[in-house]
Structure 1
Amino acid sequence: MNETIAKGHLSEEQIDKDLLKNVNWGGKFKLWMGFLTVSLIICLYYYYQQLQNGLGVTGLHDYVSWGIYISNFVFFVATSLIGMLVSSVLGMMKVEWVRPVARIAELVALAFAMVAGLIIITDMGRPDRLLNVFIHGRVQSPIVWDIAVVVTYVVISGLLLYIPMLPDIALCRDKLNNVPKWQQKMYRSLSLGWNNTAKQFRLMNRYTRMLLILIIPIALSIHTVTSWLFAMTLRSGWDSPIFGPYFVSGAFVAGCAAVIIAMFFFRNNYKLKEYITADHFDRMGKLLVLVALVYVYFNINEIIVPGYKANTADAKHVHEMLYGHDSVMFWLVQLGGLVIPFLLILFKPMRKPLPLTIIAVVILAGAWFKRVLIVVPTQLAPYYPIQNVPEGWTGYSPTTPEVAITVASFILVVMIITVLAKLFPVVPIWEVKEDMNHKNNK
């Protein structure tokens, strides 16, 4: 915790003021939401075109039937796993420094998980038949399990965000008298009659711990099952038994980067430097180094093992990655989006808020392009040669509608995080006070 707070230099009234002042609809919020809304409407126009004309408006074809839509799905599912790592694993280990940033991690996790479910629909030529997946889906199909765990993960992430927030919702109910009436009614309903009794805190802690335990297998399942969509096939590049842990380790890298970016935004725009400190960035940087090291290990395995065996299909896939059509993107992702940032973060000056955030942006961008490399090149290397087909089928280039719908996905994530951050405190007020009182009583 920040040294100023730990020594008790901030009163409880000052903490309430600092952390509640941004729970409003004023300032630049309306301008920002207006910009996001207009941008989203423009992007959704292209989705309307896709609904009207079908997937023919995309660059998808018989060979590359999964393009950047599925790459987006894998990326968004991956990034959502950070809530489990920060809130559950580190929280249950009672790592105290993570408490002020745990809610930000949950916001990121919930937003990305919610949009991941919507991205599945964008890849469907007939989204009106989505219900058939639930009615007629086969238990043997990984995509049925994928949808099931995504929905479950969204529900549990929502509860994990909501239940520990009850004391802060009650505080909003009691202290925010200048907010709209609908918002006051919302706080009264969501607070569930909370009045800070010891019994309520015991119940809250018990249910929170249950969720923290439950979310670990669910979170691991969501991305493991996603990896099975690829690994259950015999395609070279996908046919790998390490895809489960490989996907999960990559998810933690993308998620840590997303949380660091969100921390920087809230710290500067919400003026929370007393609560989200340089020390938090330093520790998040160290956590990023740890998960990146594991991810580098799996990336090395991804190339060395099939490269050593060098059967016909594997050799072709590895050659394309290292020297062929996809080599530029491959080396930019591996070196520019993973290895170089990993080496930079080893040095403490690079773990300061601004440089670490810039590095996190590069890592997050690299993580997205990595998902494209996982999804697309394998489909362009079938066992039979691509011949007697239209020229455009020998490659894959996303069209304007695909790019616009992808941008819309990111806009939705930002909108969800923005709205939730304006409805509720992004730093847990009651936990900051509890930590301060604990330090003062030592």
Structure 2
Amino acid sequence: MEKEIKLSEAQITADLYPRKFGLPGMLWTSLLIAICLVGAYAYYLQLRDGLGVTALRDYASWGIYISNFVFFVAISLVGSLITAVLRLSNVHWSTPLTRIAEIIAVSGIVFAAIIIIVDMGRPDRFLYVMIHGRLQSPIIWDVVVISTYLVISLLLLYIPLLPDLKIMLQHKEKNIKWLNKVYHFLGSFWVGSKEQFRLSEKAINILAVTIIPVAFCIHTVTSWLFATTYRPGWDSTNFGAYFISGAFLVGAGAVVVAMYVFRKAYHLEKYITDDHFNKMGKIVVLLALLYLYFNINEYLVPAFKMKKFEVEHLEGLFTGHFAGIFWFAIATSMVLPILILLFKSGRKPLPMFIAGLLVVVGAWCKRFLIVTPTMLHPMLPMTDAPEEFMHYFPTWQESAITLGSLAGALLIVTFFTRILPIIPVQETIAEQHETDKDN
């Protein structure tokens, strides 16, 4: 057990108050902006010349964009895992992680929506989806559930932030002038009365209960976009649970990576402790084992049946063209993290950071494997088609846009930490007071 550290209200406020970027922060932000600008230029070329600049063709009509969409949707589910599930389970140790989880969730779902519009080729066509949408189409279900999840996630980020905005306004001299205007606009009505705290607590509990089924729906519906088509690799009743378990795993991995980075960058060792890493490590290894189970189920059943088209798909994954990335994804997203985190020494901050990175990288590769191999194994054989139609490898424009979207999500998280506390200040103070009373 780690020794309990007694912290004063003033010290907690000073430690958790947003800080200006140092040189490493400026370099990191500049790098992300540069990647975003390259991605924006590539998207301009795509708008000007059409989807012909991509490697998407008649067969591989879904590629790296849809893989990125599924990845963003997956990583966004961490908000419901940390904020809702642990909160409703009366788990108090997760308090320093809730805002990290929510900002990852919001940035992920925002760029999931953006990347879908990019994949459409014509952004004006998105309006047609809203005007001429059909309830028979899972795409409309996806639009509705993603929009709902974004609204709930924003509220779960905003409502617990209100007491901290009051603290920001009490220290105006530390803030840039335009930031004071932002704080005033967002939280000037918050006075910190008992009634406001009671109402906010009630609202947060309602949102926490609501977001869990919505979170399950968002990835179940996303899985139905694939599973409702009669294609090898997608024709599965396991896809909903398969997607949800993988989403919780990659979300937890992303939180672990963020925990380590913020702890190092802002010297938060007193707030994000080794015990937090130990407990998150247990959650990650549990989710990795669960996801491994669904992966075995996903491949074992069609392998047992040995239908012709499924055989071709599985051979392409296990020993064929996609074998390298397939086994890399399995090893990095599940096997290696399990081997690292099963042992207590592996649940220290640095090994946890490595395991979290492996999970995130492997998860992105796994989403690519869900989309692309199936597109290249249609039910009807490819005949009289150009050679380039039978393969898919993203062009530099696709790669630049994809990297730009990933950098954009990181940029949202980076700017958030610059202007708002990444760990809830008021909640941390309240928990410290409770601890002092108990002692």
Q: Work out whether the TM-score is over 0.5.
A: yes
Could you give the per-residue CA deviations for residues 174-195 of structure 1, whole angstroms, max 9, x where no partner exists? 1242312221122122114222
Give the counterpart of 1:314 among 295, 310, 314: 310
1:339 aligns with 2:335: yes
Q: Distance in 2 between matches of 1:188 and 1:131?
A: 34
Q: Which amino acid aligns with 1:376?
A: T
1:239, 1:297 → 2: CA distance? 18
1:50 partner amino acid: Q
- 1:305 alignment counterpart: 301
Q: CA deviation at 1:34?
A: 2.8
Whichever residue aligns with residue 49 of structure 1, its letter is: L
2:350 aligned with 1:354 = yes
User: Which residue in 2 is equivalent to 1:64?
Assistant: 60
Q: What is the aligned length?
A: 438
Shift of 1:31: 4.1
Match of residue 75 from structure 1: 71
Per the alignment, residue 99 of structure 1 pairs with 95
Corresponding position of 1:168: 164
Tell me what 1:436 maps to: 432
Structure 1 contact 4–274 (Cα < 8 Å) conserved: no
User: 2:16 pairs with 4, 16, 19, which one?
Assistant: 19
The root-mean-square deviation of aligned C-alpha atoms, in Å, is 1.4
Larger CA deviation: 181-190 vs 284-293? 181-190
Q: What is aligned with 2:275? A: 279
> Which amino acid is the alignment partner of residue 328 of structure 2?
L
Gaps of 5+ in 2: none
CA shift for structure 1 position 277: 0.8
Give the Cα separation in 2 of the matches to 1:158 and 1:171: 20
| Residue 268 (1) aligns with residue 268 (2) | no
Comparing 405-414 with 40-49, greater Cα deviation is found at 40-49
- How far apart are the structure 2 equivalents of 1:129 and 1:258? 32
Distance (Å, rounded) in 1 between the aligned partners of 2:62 and 2:234 = 13
Partner residue of 1:242? 238
Q: Following the alignment from structure 2 to structure 1, what is the Cα–Cα distance between the partners of residues 420 and 171? A: 13
Higher mean C-alpha displacement, 152-161 vs 308-317: 308-317
Q: Does 1:228 align with 2:239?
A: no
State the identity as a percent: 47
SS of match in other structure, 2:94 = helix
Tell me the alpha carbon deviations over residues 279-311 of structure 1, each in whole angstroms, 9 at most, x when there is no partner. Answer: 111111110011111100100001110011111
| In structure 2, distance between residues paired with 1:27 and 1:332 | 35
Q: CA deviation at 1:382?
A: 1.2
User: What is the letter of the counterpart of residue 330 of structure 1?
Assistant: F
User: Which residue matches 1:328?
Assistant: 324
Q: How does the TM-score come out when normalised to structure 2?
A: 0.97
Letter in 2 for 1:219: A
Deviating beyond 3 angstroms after TM superposition, the runs of 4 or more aligned structure 1 residues are 1-5, 23-32
1:32 CA drift (Å)? 3.3
**Is the 1:24–1:179 contact (alpha carbons within 8 Å) kept by the matching residues of 2?**
no
| Counterpart position of 2:251 | 255
Aligned equivalents of 1:414 and 1:403: distance in 2? 17
State the alpha-carbon separation in 2 of the partners of residues 271 and 282 from structure 1.
18
Of 396-405 and 427-436, the range deviating more from structure 2: 427-436
What SS does structure 2 have at the residue aligned with 1:441? helix
Q: Which runs of 5+ in 1 are unaligned?
A: none
Q: Does 1:390 align with 2:386?
A: yes
- Equivalent position of 2:193 in the other structure: 197
Contact 1:177–1:184 at 8 Å: present in 2 too?
Answer: no
> 1:304 & 1:192 partners in 2: Cα distance?
57
Q: Return the letter of the residue paired with 1:407.
A: L
